[in-house]
Structure 1
Amino acid sequence: MPATFIYDAVRTPFGRAGGALAGVRPDDLAAVVMRATIERAGLDPARIDDVIFGDANQAGEDNRDVARMGVLLAGFPTTVPGVTVNRLCGSSVEAVIQGSRAIEAGDADVVLTGGVESMSRAPYVVEKSPRAYPSIGNQTMWNTAIGWRMTNPALPPEWTISNGQSAEKLAGLYGIDRDAQDAFALRSHRLAAAAWAAGVYDGEIVQVPGAVLARDEGIRDDTTLEALGGLRPLFGRDGAGTVTAGNASPINDGASAVLLAAEGAVDAEPLARVAGRGVFGNDPDVFGVAPVEAANRALARAGRTWADVDVVELNEAFASQSLACLQGWPDLDPARVNIHGGAIAIGHPLGASGGRIIGHAAHELRRRGGGVAVAAICIGVGQGLAVVLER
């Protein structure tokens, strides 16, 4: 069975809600990273067997298969197909997983994967009346940027709490207090700022024309424990909560791309090999800990244990959720996790985040000259995905 290799990975800097990238359509963001990845690899785009891109929203300008739209806007031949996949926050990890399966099954030699999200441009939507000519009554308008909408009343109400409420629930279940969450958030900002200053991210960033960013827009060099501690809890009752805007990931815009190919299919040295994959589901109201078992399964399928792992990229949806996952991996040294910052600082444009963590893990293995990496992500409605990389 052919192995799958990552030959390159790029992303845009992530913009904050209403920030530098808010004026850029998601299909244009996708086209930027698609084009850059292929140009960097020196690859004729006609050789791409498929483009698989993740996108969590698909309610606005990212409708009608944004992967195919990105292909056309990138100037690739019309013979290059594109498909959009949706596993919410894990959509671009799902894209990498599906692309690697296609290569290993012999259905493709070169697959361009990744994801995109413009949460700034996510539209408001209104439910359509089931009657042809409604004459009375009001309609609810829904914000599609994030979270539950048009929820089926048949679902248990305890499942349909917001992600922030779920993060608050995990904090209680795992005994994670406000101070620990704020300290984790501060670490994320400091490590991300230091990594950008040291040029760690230079080799994986592509700028968006007309919206150049010196670095990810959400990083706060000047934040402190005191500043984080002064923020108001958002989800607890009577101000008793622990989850704040400071210890949760923000709302963002951005795109990422990961070039997958069989060995030798691209004339370049690969960054890493996809060695294992894992997926797991749990109750929606504790969605944030699903990466624990997903990563355990991915490692088992790769024939590895946590003792073999050199670096972990865990998407930081919330500090409480991330710290809960670390409790679930007692054999993992927390110092190996998100060594260059995480989503609390860098940002979490839903469909693009998985490509970011996989891409950064692959680049880090090259910087180290080898090793084993795990990229894991939690997913709203109770799922987790993980990929193991080796070099």
Structure 2
Amino acid sequence: MTISRDVFVVGAARTAIGTYGGTLKDTPLADLATLAVRTAIERSGAAADSIGHLAMGNVIPTEPRDAYLSRVAAINAGLSKETPAFNVNRLCGSGLQAIVSAAQSVLLGDCELAIGAGAESMSRGPYHVNTARWGARMGDTAMVDYTVGILHDPFHKIHMGITAENVAEQFGITRSMMDELAAESHHRAAKAIAEGRFKSQIVPVEIVTRKGTVSFDTDEHVKADTTVETLAKMKPAFKKDGGLVTAGNASGINDGAAAVVLASAEAVKAGGLKPLARLVAYAHAGVEPKIMGIGRCQRPNSH
């Protein structure tokens, strides 16, 4: 969709990204979300009570209050109790959808300032015991790993890693191409960290340990010493016979949160806010579930 009214990003913040089972594994999801939202507002220069709407992307609720994670983060971050909030779930695109949804609130004139945010704690994903409520009656019962479950296509019952294998087969992507891209990604991220390029984005997460308080402020999933040679030695993770996707070249499983404050041109002028970026357009598309990873390249339906 082409934007018909100027919408600007006037504030942004994110936590550092914690790896699965890493530094953020014991930090509640709501705390991460609240920290990102509060900091984004502070950096924007806008008053918290001037925010008219908040959209929060989340896929894996980790405890009951996460069912309304957006509202919990909004109130805990200092937004007015009269400010509405809602969760959105578009799986990997949930945070982006939250930004789109927040922008739509501004575009439609529902408000002049809105927040689009996203938060996940994959390390704290729950286990479901589907027989617990009404009883297993007799015999063993299972615990379903929700985090692993959401990484599966519900139609073909295949892991996301297999959909990546399908994309590789259909579009001629080789193992060496995957490993080269993965290694380059780590190198670029490591270089950016070393040069301090992410410092202005990140708000530190204060974590209390037995040895004192630790300030978590550096992405920990990045491996600076990753090479194509070491990646080439890794075994396929999802398709044992002839598979290409490994734990080294696949997407990571992580924890973290981020938020942006969006404002209309009128709000920018009235509040003396400083635009960081302007939203130009957005689009949505659906694809065959077996190759879901190609969705970002799909030509969207006109609307």
TM, length-normalised to structure 1: 0.70
Q: Counterpart of 1:226 in 2: which secondary structure? A: helix
After the TM superposition, which residues 129-168 of structure 1 pair with which residues of structure 2 at under 5 Å, given as runs?
A: 132=134, 134-148=136-150, 155=155, 159-168=156-165
* More off after superposition, 139-148 vs 30-39: 139-148
Query: Do 2:175 and 2:244's aligned partners in 1 also have CA atoms closer than 8 Å?
Result: yes
Query: Do 2:167 and 2:291's aligned partners in 1 also have CA atoms closer than 8 Å?
Result: yes
The reply on whether 1:114 has 2:117 as its aligned counterpart is yes
Runs of 4+ in structure 1 over 3 Å off: 146-152
2:245 match: 243
Higher RCO structure, 1 or 2 (CA under 8 Å, sep 6+): 2
Q: Distance in 2 between matches of 1:120 and 1:230?
A: 27
1:364 match: none
Query: Unaligned stretches of 5+ in structure 1?
Result: 302-391
Displacement of 1:237 in angstroms is 3.1
Return closer, same or farther for 1:38/1:229 CA change in 2, 3 Å cut-off. Answer: same
After the TM superposition, which residues 1-391 of structure 1 pair with which residues of structure 2 at under 5 Å, given as runs?
A: 2-60=5-63, 63-128=66-131, 132=134, 134-148=136-150, 155=155, 159-210=156-207, 211-238=214-241, 240-266=242-268, 267-293=272-298, 296-297=299-300
Report Cα offsets for 1:287-313 as digits up to 9, x if no partner.
Answer: 0001112xx549x98xxxxxxxxxxxx
Query: Do 2:202 and 2:217's aligned partners in 1 also have CA atoms closer than 8 Å?
Result: no
How many positions carry a matched residue from both structures?
291
Displacement of 1:106 in angstroms is 0.7
Q: Distance in 1 between matches of 2:100 and 2:21?
A: 31
Return closer, same or farther for 1:209/1:80 CA change in 2, 3 Å cut-off. Answer: farther
Superposed CA RMSD: 2.2
Q: Distance in 2 between matches of 1:14 and 1:61?
A: 23
Q: Counterpart of 2:282 in 1: which secondary structure? A: strand
Displacement of 1:224 in angstroms is 1.2
Displacement of 1:52 in angstroms is 0.6
Displacement of 1:231 in angstroms is 1.1
Displacement of 1:280 in angstroms is 0.5
2:211 match: none
Return closer, same or farther for 1:232/1:61 CA change in 2, 3 Å cut-off. Answer: farther
Displacement of 1:133 in angstroms is 5.2
Q: Distance in 2 between matches of 1:74 and 1:57?
A: 21
Report Cα offsets for 1:43-62 as digits up to 9, x if no partner.
Answer: 21111111111001125356
